[in-house]
């Protein structure tokens, strides 16, 4: 009998996220062309490729920001190809962005609390009919948000406005915000971009810590050192297609990958 995930009650051997023959066309151009892969539960999977390879479009398709022209996307075995991004968040898929955009005038803890799912206070009548429940829930979310800020080493700034953060600290805040929604998988879009070496080490450590909690990661990244240190497997895209997959060392030696980068695939 397959082991069952305590959190989701799913087959732990089944992929958490699957792309099946996914195509996305913009006019006559196939930005993603017949791409298929699985993201295995509990792994850190890297997605690399030269500029214009289709990586960001692939992320948009997985997250629900754009629909596929054809093919299927499955989240925990359920076809979600036609679902919008907010429905996929509710199903356990979180996403960060290359350029984080927190609410600058809200404090860090307020930014994190906003990401909580299913808040009673969001329903108008709950504030009038069950104010005690709303207050108790808010206190629970506040403690959870503080715990997550501690996880990403931002506790001392919890009550500061987000506008004071550096680029690297904003990446850490975004990790905490995503975690607030209790994701099964997180799509990370270039977590190393614009981050100094010291904060990059913190981000790498935090990704490892979160992964150790059973959270799966798929990340786009140009920093090959980070990919080599973090990723269990690596996928390589070029010209909208999946070129190869393997360990970081295996794909680095693949002649097709060398040609894609040196040849400047569009």
| Helix pair angle (167-180, 197-212), 10° resolution | 10
Instruction: Find the helix or strand (DSSP H, E) in which 32 lies.
Output: strand 29-39
What pTM was computed for the model? 0.86
How much of the chain, in percent, has pLDDT values that exceed 70? 86
Kindly state the average pLDDT of the residues 212-240: 95
Homologous superfamily, domain 17-101+181-262: P-loop containing nucleotide triphosphate hydrolases (3.40.50.300)
User: How many C-beta neighbours within 10 Å does residue 140 have?
Assistant: 11
Instruction: Supply the pLDDT for residue 116.
Output: 84
Kindly state the average pLDDT of the residues 61-68: 96
Tell me the CA distances in angstroms from 99 to 49, 123, 170, 255, one per residue in order.
Answer: 19, 31, 9, 32
Query: Residues with Cβ < 8 Å from 166, sequence gap 6 or more?
Result: 196, 199
pLDDT digits (tens, 9 = 90+) for 119-175: 544 444 444 445 546 566 788 889 999 999 999 999 999 999 999 999 999 999 999
What are the domain boundaries of the chain? 17-101+181-262, 103-164
Q: Give the model's confidence band at 105: pLDDT under 50 very low, under 70 low, under 90 confident, else very high.
A: very high
């Amino acid at each position: 009998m397959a082991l069952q995930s305590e959190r989701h009650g799913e087959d732990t051997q089944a992929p958490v996220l699957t792309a099946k023959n996914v195509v996305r066309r913009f006019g006559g151009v196939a930005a993603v062309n017949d791409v298929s892969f699985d993201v295995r539960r509990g792994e850190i999977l890297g997605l690399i490729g030269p500029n214009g390879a289709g990586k960001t479009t692939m992320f948009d398709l997985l997250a629900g920001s754009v629909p596929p022209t054809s093919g299927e996307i499955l989240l925990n075995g359920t076809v979600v190809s036609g679902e919008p991004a907010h429905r996929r968040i509710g199903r356990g898929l979180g996403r960060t962005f290359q350029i984080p955009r927190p609410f600058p005038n809200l404090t860090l803890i307020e930014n994190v609390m906003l990401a909580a799912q299913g808040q009673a206070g969001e329903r108008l009548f709950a504030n009038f009919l069950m104010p005690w429940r709303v207050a108790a829930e808010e206190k629970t979310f506040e403690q959870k948000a503080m715990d997550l800020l501690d996880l990403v080493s931002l506790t001392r700034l919890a009550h500061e406005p987000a506008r004071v953060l550096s680029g690297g600290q904003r990446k850490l805040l975004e990790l905490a915000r995503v975690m607030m929604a209790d994701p099964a998988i997180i799509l990370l879009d270039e977590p190393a971009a614009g981050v100094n070496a010291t904060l990059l080490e913190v981000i790498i450590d935090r990704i490892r810590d979160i992964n150790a909690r059973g959270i799966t990661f798929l990340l786009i990244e140009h920093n090959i050192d980070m990919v080599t240190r973090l990723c269990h497997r690596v996928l390589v895209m070029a010209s909208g297609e999946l070129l190869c997959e393997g360990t970081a060392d295996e794909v680095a030696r693949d002649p097709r990958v060398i040609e894609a980068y040196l040849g400047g695939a569009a």
